[in-house]
A and B are shown apart, each in its own frame.
Chain A
């Protein structure tokens, strides 16, 4: 049924949607926020090592459900495979209020200033990275985002200390919370980094180290990334900006609602959103402004499923850019075994990082931040072993019981060279439980990305050796596309409507009132976890939208 018109409808209550909702609600806009999942809380923290957002062997608690939400994956040999959300290849993030921010590891990175201008930095120096890639500068730079990075750090809450990182962009204000006290592993790696001439610092984290925002500090348990925080010390959108936005009385949150299409008027003006509500009934929500914040894969799917006279191939897709350039990160790194126990059972685990290799690697375009890994529960570590150690039998058991507490992992998210071929389409045949065509994923990594990733693995191994690891081995780069929790790039931001999907204010080219606000708009995804950049862009877009469109009196 057709509902009363509102000022704005936002699709997706993940990392970005609730931030835009908060900015608009505070500006007096009557706003509706649609979320296909449920509102989970700390009470839903089950600490189940086989069923969580990171290790989904037996499923995952924060969505989407395995039943009725398939995707299609195109294999390297061209075969099509239908996958369910908890299976590999689906590239799931989450489907719940807060999205990935409910259960993430919560690293809170600002991108490096160079990350916004990859062509300027590397176009002539590293031509290999540009052959058959869409590597490009962003239309905005670090300085444009700096105030919004700060806003995200303070409104949502970040702990850490990057004052000893000489490679960071200018920061006007320190982080609101100090880092957690160091673990044994942190101290070992810190000293090793200094010995190797590197520059270690405390990772910024969207996690309370002390009471902040009305919630307690981290209790340092083993169950962090992939789980909801039992004491609600992780800072997501669901426990920060969203309650504040609801407090204005201007925002309505509707859960269990799956968007079907953005409805368009005769020209470039959207009229609202058609969706299925929690009872499976079709609804139409008219709105003066439509904001798509469903994450890179689902936002692209929604736009491609929104066909109109002006956009017969999908909203914003007149030049075939929607769904292109899908990128997450190429994770590579190394493992090290130490002579003595390094495990002291203090979460969250990841704490020390270096940015020495994000840029300036000879012959390489970009690189990665390197950091120690989150605590590995036994099932997560059971497959990690040096070459030559058996996978089963007495050899496995002896190795694992001796070395579980001596293992350190260092890894990093290598920045990828996006390509046209790494992409999201909608499948012609497979549909979800509502009959909406589902996302189809295909493509292979750019060869340069694999080179950079493998170099980062060498650097990680070097750091472990300098820290005293006796046995080390590398984890190199895979060939397949990345996406998952870091998915980005599918609705590129740019000035030219022919080579991008949204403008620098994140409005879809040739539309009056449709915005995409999530990782989709990233031109490149930095050598860092992307969430703080998504949040900063959302604060910036929210402020812009509130100023650019007049609300009815």
Chain B
């Protein structure tokens, strides 16, 4: 064999955009205030509040922020890049334009100068993590108060003596 490409799970792409020199937002581990604001609107567009809370209230960005220091740490540069691109894209329209932009990204039709592949990669990455943060165990930082489980009608069953393992610390 001549050539081999090592892609350990997900290759880190260089070029962290915004965030350099800024500290993490209060209460977060790595993402800055600007980044959290954009991510929060992004996640909320993916799972919006109606009569029941959406991704923002459920603290999905907190789940993603925590994992970006742990299991997803190699994805941090990609997140930074995607959030910076989204921020630029939204500059004129504001967060109200988020859902329409996500529809374009899902089809790979976002401006190429912002997303080299038309946005599909970033869209899929954030969607997967948003579903995890909304429907997964609260111990990882999202799904506050099991809000999605209550929504689905499968309230968490407390197991005597195991509350700590069930909920962890938020």
Q: Are A405 and B136 in contact (CB under 8 A)?
A: no
Within 8 Å of chain B (Cβ to Cβ): is A81?
yes
A221 to B135, CA, bound (A): 18
B interface residues, how many (CB within 8 angstroms) = 39
The residues of A that contact B67 with a CB separation of less than 8 Å are 58
How many contacting A-B pairs (Cβ < 8 A)? 99
Query: With an 8 A cutoff between CB atoms, is B20 at the interface?
Result: no
Give the distance to chain A from B134, nearest Cβ to Cβ, in Å.
8
Residue in A345, A379, A429 whose CB lies within 8 Å of B131:
A379
Would you call B132 and A57 a contact (CB within 8 A)?
yes
Evaluate whether A49 and B136 lie within 8 angstroms (CB atoms) in the complex, with A58-B67, A391-B127, A397-B47 already known: yes
A397 to B148, alpha carbons, bound, how many Å? Answer: 10
CB neighbours of B46 from chain A (8 A): 392-393
What 1/0 flags go to A20-56 for Cβ under 8 Å of B?
A: 0000000000000000000000000111111000000
Residue A357 CB within 8 A of the other chain: no
Interface residue B151 (Cβ < 8 Å from any Cβ of A): yes
A393 and B135 in contact, given A58-B140, A59-B71, A378-B149 (Cβ under 8 angstroms): no
What residues of chain B lie closer than 8 Å to A59, measured between beta carbons?
71
Whether A378 contacts B154 by the Cβ 8 Å rule is yes
A82 to B7, CA, bound (A): 6
B157 with A221: CB separation less than 8 A = yes
Pick the contact of A82 from B8, B54, B127, B131 — CB < 8 Å? B8
Of A70, A341, A378, A404, the most chain B CB neighbours within 10 A belong to A378
A194: CB under 8 A from chain B?
no
* Residue in A80, A222, A396 whose beta carbon sits within 8 Å of that of B1 in the complex: A80
Interface residues of A in 80-105 (CB under 8 A from B): 80-84, 87
Mark contacts of A242-282 with chain B using CB atoms, 8 A cut-off: 1 yes-contact digit, 0 otherwise: 00000000000000000000000000000000000000000
Interface 1/0s, chain A 378-402, versus B by CB < 8 A?
1100110000000111101100110
Majority secondary structure, A binding face: loop
A79 is an interface residue with CB less than 8 A from chain B: yes
Task: Chain B residues near A5: list those with CB within 8 A.
Answer: none
Residue B9 interfacial (CB < 8 Å): yes
Interface residues of A, Cβ cutoff 8 Å to B: 45-50, 57-59, 70, 79-84, 87, 221-222, 230, 341, 343, 345, 377-379, 382-383, 391-394, 396-397, 400-401, 404-405, 428-429
Interface residues of B (CB under 8 A from A): 1, 4-9, 45-48, 50, 52, 54, 67, 70-71, 99, 102, 127, 130-132, 135-137, 139-140, 148-149, 151-154, 157, 159, 162, 165-166
Additional A-B contact list (12), CB under 8 Å, known A58-B70, A377-B135, A378-B149: A46-B165, A49-B136, A59-B71, A80-B1, A82-B6, A87-B9, A222-B157, A230-B162, A379-B132, A392-B130, A393-B48, A405-B153
List 6 A-B pairs, minimum CB-CB distance, nearest first. Answer: A378-B135, A379-B135, A404-B152, A80-B4, A50-B136, A392-B46
Q: Can you show 6 pairs from A to B with CB atoms below 8 A apart?
A: A49-B135, A383-B131, A392-B127, A394-B48, A397-B48, A397-B151
